[in-house]
Amino acid sequence: NAGVTQTPKFQVLKTGQSMTLQCAQDMNHEYMSWYRQDPGMGLRLIHYSVGAGITDQGEVPNGYNVSRSTTEDFPLRLLSAAPSQTSVYFCASSTGGSPAYEQYFGPGTRLTVT
């Protein structure tokens, strides 16, 4: 099993550009989520999904879109990048239907917006 994979590992964007961060898992997990990690703030939930076709907002969803067309993939789209979106982004998936179960994290994508 590859576990949770994320691409790209690093990305630099200019303000106003758009891009998609890719996330895939091969463990047949129903629950997937996106977090951003900022210094001194821990991890904050952006969006999550409890299964294919079902997504919902976390605590910091503004400026991001998600979709879940398959169990395996959960891409995160930045619509118009802003410097405030400079962060490290982690995708995670969970064995059960909620984060009360162990979450498996990808290696992260470090995004810089200039």
Residues that bind another protein (CB under 8 A): 4, 33, 40-45, 48, 50, 56, 58-59, 90, 92, 98-100, 102-108
Give the DSSP letter string of 54-107.
Answer: EEEE-S--TTEEE--SSSSB--EEESS--GGG-EEEEEEEESSSSTTSPEEE--
Coil, strand, or helix at residue 57? strand
Closest separation between CB of residue 30 and another protein, Å? 12
Cβ distance to another protein smaller for residue 17 or 104: 104
Closest separation between CB of residue 29 and another protein, Å? 14
Rounded Cα–Cα distance for residues 93 and 35 (Å): 11
Cβ distance to another protein smaller for residue 31 or 71: 31
Closest separation between CB of residue 31 and another protein, Å? 8
